[in-house]
């Protein structure tokens, strides 16, 4: 390793989270847990044909927050795997969707059930019935961004918690072997779910967003640039925007993560900057945490990382065949 790269790695490892939590942070998250309890993991499933031999597939409609039906896939692995299965709850990246069943074939063949859900309003089959009383810029992030109780992040975090609760309640799933995972936006949702959902046994947050967002709003070329553009148009609202983001910033809840967790970071990433990811990671309380840096990667994980993820899951939420 060259001296420059070594110094870069050392500087990232030394970063500490700059907490931005407001005085009512604990009260707000207590109210979020109350809403989660009210939602209660409710939803319905309908059998579908995945066109994958031996795989059973269900289309799911979750009762999302604010009356929004959230669409998802629930997929069960083929033999020789047998119930109860470990389950991977998977959140996608920004502008994406839950996709099609075949993209989860590798996990199904390894004996894992999969619960993959749409992040509302984005590229899937899920809309967004949550109202907003103020304008927004392009994208979804600035919808309701002037108030923690109306903002888009609140909706998608509650949907994530609902997806975990629904999966844990399925008769085919072992509720003690649930892992949350996602990339970018999905990685950020994974960090928040790992902090606040008691059912999660392990988590994989790849190149996660929603970390040290006060840094991100000034530097990111990704979704947080929408918040920057909002403030550019409405500079009088800077403090309100930063306050709203703080309730959904992983740096403020990282010390609640006590389960095994795997995190990755691209050191040339200008969407989810490594400085933000390391800030959150270094605050994680778990004694079983690992970060995988990719020194020459931008906003992607390097080839072969899937095997690293599988080795981690096999160790902490094994599929029993």
SS (H, E, C) the chain: CCHHHHHHHHHHHHCCCCCCCCCCHHHHHHHHHHHHHHHCCCEEEEEECCCCCCCEEEEEEEECHHHCEEEEEEEECCCCCCCCEEEEEEECCCCCCCCCHHHHHHHHHCCCEEEEECCCCCCCCCCCCCCCCCCCCCCCCCCCCCCCCCCHHHHHHHHHHHHHHHHHCCCCEEEEEEEEEEECHHHHHHHHHHHHCCCEEEEEEECCCCCCHHHHHHHCCCCHHHHHHHHHHCHHHHHHHHHHHHCCCHHHCHHHCCCCEEEEEECCCCCCCHHHHHHHHHHCCCCCEEEEEECCCCCCCCCCHHHHHHHHHHHHCCCCC
Condensed to tens digits (0 to 9), the pLDDT of residues 208-239 reads 999 999 999 999 999 999 999 999 999 999 99
Q: What is the pLDDT of residue 291?
A: 98
Average pLDDT over residues 78-83: 95
Condensed to tens digits (0 to 9), the pLDDT of residues 144-162 reads 999 999 999 999 999 999 9
pLDDT surpassing 70 at residue 59: yes
Average pLDDT over residues 79-91: 96
Q: Domain boundaries in the chain?
A: 42-316
C-alpha–C-alpha distance, residues 60 and 310, integer Å: 26
Condensed to tens digits (0 to 9), the pLDDT of residues 163-216 reads 999 999 999 999 999 999 999 999 999 999 999 999 999 999 999 999 999 999
Q: What is the pLDDT of residue 132?
A: 85
Range with the poorest average pLDDT among 23-32, 39-48, 182-191, 312-321: 312-321
pLDDT surpassing 90 at residue 286: yes
Q: What is the pLDDT of residue 232?
A: 97
Q: What is the pLDDT of residue 138?
A: 93
C-alpha–C-alpha distance, residues 206 and 271, integer Å: 13
pTM to 2 decimal places: 0.97
pLDDT surpassing 90 at residue 42: yes
Q: How confident is the model at residue 321 (pLDDT cuts 50, 70, 90)?
A: low
pLDDT surpassing 90 at residue 294: yes
Token couple for 261: 């967790």
Axis crossing angle, helix 274-283 with helix 3-14, rounded to the nearest 10: 50
The fold adopted by the segment(s) 42-316 is Rossmann fold (3.40.50)
Instruction: State CA 283 to chain mean position distance.
Output: 17
| Mean of all residue pLDDT scores within the chain | 96
Q: What is the pLDDT of residue 1?
A: 61
Report the C-alpha dihedral over residues 294, 311, 259, 77, rounded to 10 degrees.
Answer: 120
pLDDT surpassing 80 at residue 283: yes
Token couple for 9: 């790695």
């Amino acid at each position: 390793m060259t001296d420059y790269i070594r110094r870069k790695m050392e500087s990232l490892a030394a970063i500490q989270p700059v907490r931005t939590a407001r005085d009512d942070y604990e009260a707000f998250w207590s109210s979020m847990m109350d809403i989660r309890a009210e939602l209660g993991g409710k939803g319905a499933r309908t059998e579908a044909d995945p066109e994958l031999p031996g795989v059973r597939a269900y289309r799911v409609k979750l009762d999302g927050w604010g009356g929004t039906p959230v669409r998802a896939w629930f997929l069960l692995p083929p033999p020789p795997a047998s119930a109860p299965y470990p389950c991977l709850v998977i959140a996608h990246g920004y502008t994406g969707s839950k996709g099609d069943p075949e993209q989860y074939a590798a996990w199904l063949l390894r004996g894992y059930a999969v619960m993959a859900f749409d992040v509302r309003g984005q590229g899937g089959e899920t809309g967004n019935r949550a109202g907003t009383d103020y304008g927004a810029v392009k994208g979804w992030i600035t919808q309701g961004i002037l108030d923690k109780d109306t903002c888009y992040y609140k909706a998608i975090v509650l949907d994530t918690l609902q997806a975990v609760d629904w999966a844990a309640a399925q008769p085919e799933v072992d509720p003690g072997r649930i892992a949350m995972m996602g990339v970018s936006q999905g990685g950020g949702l994974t960090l928040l779910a790992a902090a606040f959902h008691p059912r999660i046994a392990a988590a994989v947050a790849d190149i996660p967003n929603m970390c040290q967002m006060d840094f991100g709003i000034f530097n990111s070329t990704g979704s947080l640039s929408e918040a920057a553009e909002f403030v550019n148009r409405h500079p009088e609202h800077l403090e309100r925007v930063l306050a709203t983001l703080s309730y959904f910033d992983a740096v403020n809840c990282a010390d609640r993560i006590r389960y095994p967790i795997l995190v990755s970071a691209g050191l040339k990433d200008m969407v989810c900057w490594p400085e933000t990811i390391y800030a959150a990671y270094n605050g994680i309380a778990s004694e079983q945490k690992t970060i995988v840096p990719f020194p020459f990667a931008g906003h992607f994980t390097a080839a072969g990382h899937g095997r690293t993820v599988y080795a981690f899951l096999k160790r902490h939420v094994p599929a029993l065949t």
